[in-house]
Amino acid sequence: MASTATPTRDDFAALLDKSLGESQSFEGKVVKGRVTAIENDLVVIDVGLKSEGRISIREFTPPGQAPQVSVGDEVDVYVDRVENAFGEAMLSRDRARREAAWDKLEQQFNAGERVDGTIFGRVKGGFTVDLGGAVAFLPGSQVDIRPVRDVTPLMGISQPFQLLKMDRKRGNIVVSRRSILEETRAEARTGLIQSLSEGQVIDGVVKNITDYGAFVDLGGIDGLLHVTDMSYKRVGHPNEVINIGDTVKVQIIRINRDTQRISLGMKQLESDPWEGAEAKYPVGAKLKGRVTNITEYGAFIELEPGIEGLVHVSEMSWVKKNVHPGKIVSTSQEVDVLVLEVDGEKRRISLGLKQAQRNPWEVFAEEHPVGSIVEGEVKNSTEFGLFIGLPGEVDGMVHMSDIAWGVSGEAALALHHKGEMVKAQVLEVDVERERISLGIKQVSGEGATAEVGARPAASVDGLSKNQVVTCIVREARDGGIEVQIGEDGPTGFVKRSDLSRDRDEQRPERFQVGQKVDALVIGFERGKKPMLSIKAMQIAEEKQQVAQYGSSDSGASLGDILGAALNKAKQDG
């Protein structure tokens, strides 16, 4: 009878090495196991080792769903260790799913394929996504094409993502939902733009408004509605016509299929107000309009919605030359205009503002015929005369030879100052050249040429023009002094500007009541009241003294000559 050999020490060592080798070959690998039991929150799994392993049921529960495991199921698990301190196998369902997922994801990443995943949590800067066992990071900027305030509706839903980055060693995966949407949108845009055609009328929704127009969603592709194509009338800003969210009917004006840009228009759906403009606005027609815009070169006048005409700065006023149009009209002002020219093809209408009013020089000529007396303010003094402001905002000119009898040149110009009110006679009106000639000296009587002491040209109550008279100051006022000629003669008034040839002496306060002064009668008012001037007397006396004593050939100054003359007059008196 054969006897069984007793195992030796070496036999036991070989068996142990074999057993340990089989066990060690499981560690760090994904193996298949069978669910033998579910105890409370643990799933018992047999993977063919000496002992079973236990895994938390949470590892069999997808985000937001119920546990998906039953007794008898065959599942993949990751063997971390063959035995722990209790002799159980250390298994992981998550690790198995993650390893399997990584293998698959690497293949998809290399192939540039999309992957399905589920957003299940929030982290700093973005969200976490379950990619079938592997956890990826979804940056906040990659959630959607536009910023999303609430991501809750997107969570727990399986949806496609694009793999942007993978690093298995660090366990880092970055995905994007935005790139999927952009790609889908680009495909939709391409398909949609192929279905559109120029001239087509379509409904759209206003998505955004800028200073230059609005972007309209045509159902997956945006078109630009420029502000100039919103209405035929002037539009200051797009929000005057439309608002975000409005549904508008637009016409496709242009399509650039290469850049996928679409230009839209709203006014093209309206009737063109410029059709028949020549008939509606004939040359010479007087119309009412509203000022819509003012520029340096003129003002735009709206005649009706969609039709504007230009009043050039040269056609704005008869009397206001070389001034900014904003000083003549204001925005939104209603004005009368006259049609000067119409060009329907270029959509231009030239208007005249001044032509809608009567020529003020014609009006003046009708109301103030030659020979009539007018009163106005001295506006300016030039080397050849005075400009007088007249009714109707027109100016007339008094040549220096028509200022005073017997006085001309600078001496005549010095008789009046800016702002002074004077009376003058209309000598001539030239409507075409817009000129009015006036004479101040003609108001006081017929022509006279006498100097001081010459025979007077006209007289009233014994007083003659150009006569020197002695007056008594009765009252000093801001505008001049009230005087009486002689003890019982008529009263007259010496204006401030006529108190002296020297400006520093043209002060009424230097005269005392009762003081005697000499003055020259320069004319008479309509009430026969004499008009007096000390300045005119001084100028006339200077001329007379120069004529009597000669020029400066003797070496004496003009002051010396006048001083000698005054001393002689006192001695003779």
Fold classified for 278-356: OB fold (Dihydrolipoamide Acetyltransferase, E2P) (2.40.50)
Cα–Cα distance measured from residue 364 to residue 533, given in angstroms and rounded to the nearest whole number: 31
515 is written with which tokens?
A: 């003081």
The torsion defined by the Cα of 89, 95, 101 and 104, in degrees rounded to 10, comes to -50
| CATH number for the segment(s) 358-444 | 2.40.50.140
Q: How far is CA 533 from CA 249, 425, 437, in A?
A: 82, 20, 25
Name the phi and psi angles at 178, rounded to 5. -60, -45
pLDDT of the residue at 447: 45
Q: How far is CA 505 from CA 228, 381, 514, in A?
A: 68, 21, 19
Domain boundaries of the chain, sorted by first residue: 26-111, 112-182, 196-269, 278-356, 358-444, 449-573
- Element (H or E) spanning 94, and its range? helix 93-111
pLDDT of the residue at 450: 36
Cα–Cα distance measured from residue 252 to residue 204, given in angstroms and rounded to the nearest whole number: 11
Looking up tokens 């979804």 gives 138
pLDDT of the residue at 384: 84
Name the phi and psi angles at 8, rounded to 5. -95, 175
Beta-bridge partners for 492: 483
With a CB cutoff of 8 Å and minimum separation 6, the contacts of 481 are: 473, 474, 475, 493, 494, 499, 508, 511
Fold classified for 112-182: OB fold (Dihydrolipoamide Acetyltransferase, E2P) (2.40.50)
Q: In what order do the strands lie in the sheet with 90-92?
A: 53-56, 42-46, 29-39, 74-81, 90-92
Cα–Cα distance measured from residue 33 to residue 46, given in angstroms and rounded to the nearest whole number: 5
Common-topology check for domains 112-182 and 449-573? yes
Kindly state which CATH superfamily the domain 449-573 is placed in. Answer: Nucleic acid-binding proteins (2.40.50.140)
Q: Which CATH class is domain 26-111?
A: mainly beta
Q: Which CATH class is domain 196-269?
A: mainly beta
Looking up tokens 């520093």 gives 504
DSSP string computed for 293-357:
EEETTEEEEEEETTEEEEEEGGGS-SS--S--GGGT--TT-EEEEEEEEEETTTTEEEEESGGGS
524, 463, 528: which is closest to 489 by C-alpha?
A: 463
228, 232, 210, 220: which is closest to 264 by C-alpha?
A: 228
- Could you tell me if 96 and 77 are in contact, meaning their C-beta atoms sit under 8 angstroms apart? yes
Cα–Cα distance measured from residue 522 to residue 463, given in angstroms and rounded to the nearest whole number: 11
pLDDT of the residue at 21: 44
pLDDT tens, the chain, 573 aa long: 444 455 565 555 455 444 444 445 667 677 888 888 888 888 888 887 777 788 887 877 776 677 778 888 888 787 877 666 566 777 877 777 777 778 888 888 998 889 999 999 999 999 999 988 789 999 999 998 888 888 888 998 999 999 999 988 888 999 999 998 888 877 777 778 888 888 889 899 998 999 899 999 887 788 899 998 998 888 889 988 899 989 999 999 998 887 778 999 998 888 888 888 888 889 988 999 999 999 999 999 999 888 889 999 989 888 887 889 998 899 989 999 999 999 888 889 999 998 888 888 888 888 888 888 999 999 988 888 899 999 888 999 999 888 888 777 788 888 888 888 999 999 888 888 888 999 998 887 544 433 333 333 445 667 877 888 899 999 988 888 999 888 888 888 898 888 998 888 899 999 998 899 999 888 777 556 788 899 988 888 777 766 655 544 434 444 554 555 555 544 554
Beta-bridge partners for 239: none
- Could you tell me if 443 and 373 are in contact, meaning their C-beta atoms sit under 8 angstroms apart? yes
68 is written with which tokens?
A: 């998906």
Taking the CB of residue 486, how many other CB atoms lie within 10 A of it?
11
